[in-house]
């Protein structure tokens, strides 16, 4: 029986209820006994992301990756944090690694596609965003990111069509 996994289920429930303080307390208690379990640090990083505390999130995820550099979730979270901090090229490295470990995850692909778009490699970014949308056709965030990338390269009609699909107003 994986006691840390059971704790993570409780932590996830607290996060869903936006009880971040309680979730952090549970993680802190767990770290006394399971201080070398990278998953707890990933959960802590995720909570700090929810709270918008990017520096704390980065510190937590760095510790998690020091414990397990092959964690798909850890690499995804670090890529996401770096993307949020506008460290685009560095974020791509971690998002690519996450994608290589856990391929075809639509959330990883969405952020990877957006990172490539932000880095100026829009063709690759749009291709990846399209792949993410095939995997999760009802995902509004993927749809919106793809729409904005398309509009950014002048494909206004196609981009606006995607925005309309998710109930957003046309751009331009």
Residues 42, 108, 91, 171: is their CA dihedral positive or negative?
negative
Instruction: Give the predicted TM-score (pTM) of the model.
Output: 0.93
pLDDT for res 16:
96
CATH code for residues 1-102: 1.25.40.10
pLDDT for res 170:
77
What percentage of the chain exceeds 70 in pLDDT? Answer: 99
**Residues 126, 150: contact at Cβ < 8 Å?**
yes
Q: In a 10 Å sphere around its CB, with 0-12 CB exposed, 13-18 middle and 19+ buried, how is residue 52 labelled?
A: exposed
Alpha-carbon gap, residue 152 to 148, rounded angstroms: 6
pLDDT for res 4:
96
**Domain positions in the chain:** 1-102, 104-171
Please compute the mean of the pLDDT values over residues 69-98 and round it to a whole number: 98
Query: Tokens standing for 141?
Result: 């965030």
The number of angstroms, rounded, from the C-alpha of 119 to the middle of its chain's C-alpha atoms is 17
pLDDT for res 44:
98
Residues 6+ apart with CB under 8 A from 59: none
Q: State the residue for tokens 């414990």.
A: 67
**Residues 61, 69: contact at Cβ < 8 Å?**
no
Please compute the mean of the pLDDT values over residues 90-103 and round it to a whole number: 98
pLDDT of residue 1 exceeding 60 = no
- Helix spans in 1-121 (H): 3-16, 20-33, 38-50, 54-67, 72-84, 88-101, 106-118
- Cβ atoms < 10 Å from Cβ of 94: 26
Please compute the mean of the pLDDT values over residues 31-53 and round it to a whole number: 97
Give me the chain's average pLDDT, please: 97
Please compute the mean of the pLDDT values over residues 164-172 and round it to a whole number: 85
DSSP string, 37-67: -HHHHHHHHHHHHHTT-HHHHHHHHHHHHHH
pLDDT in tens, 98-148: 999 999 999 999 999 999 999 999 999 999 999 999 999 999 999 999 999
Domains 1-102 and 104-171 share a fold: yes
pLDDT for res 171:
77
The domain over range 104-171 is classified in CATH as 3.20.20.70:
no
pLDDT confidence tier of residue 38, bands split at 50, 70 and 90: very high
């Amino acid at each position: 029986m994986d006691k840390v996994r059971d704790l993570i289920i409780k932590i996830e429930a607290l996060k869903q209820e936006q009880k971040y303080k309680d979730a952090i307390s549970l993680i802190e208690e767990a770290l006394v006994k399971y201080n070398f379990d990278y998953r707890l640090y990933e959960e802590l990083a995720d909570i700090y992301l929810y709270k918008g505390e990017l520096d704390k999130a980065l510190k937590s995820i760095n510790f998690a990756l020091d414990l397990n550099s092959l964690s798909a979730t850890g690499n995804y979270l670090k890529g996401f944090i770096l993307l949020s901090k506008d460290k685009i090229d560095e974020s791509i490295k971690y998002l690519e690694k996450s994608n290589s470990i856990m391929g075809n995850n639509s959330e990883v692909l969405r952020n990877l596609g957006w990172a490539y778009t932000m880095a100026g490699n829009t063709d690759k970014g749009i291709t990846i965003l399209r792949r993410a949308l095939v995997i999760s056709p009802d995902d509004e965030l993927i749809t919106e990111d793809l729409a904005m990338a398309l509009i950014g390269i002048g494909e206004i009609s196609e981009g606006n069509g995607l925005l309309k699909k998710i109930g957003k107003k046309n751009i331009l």
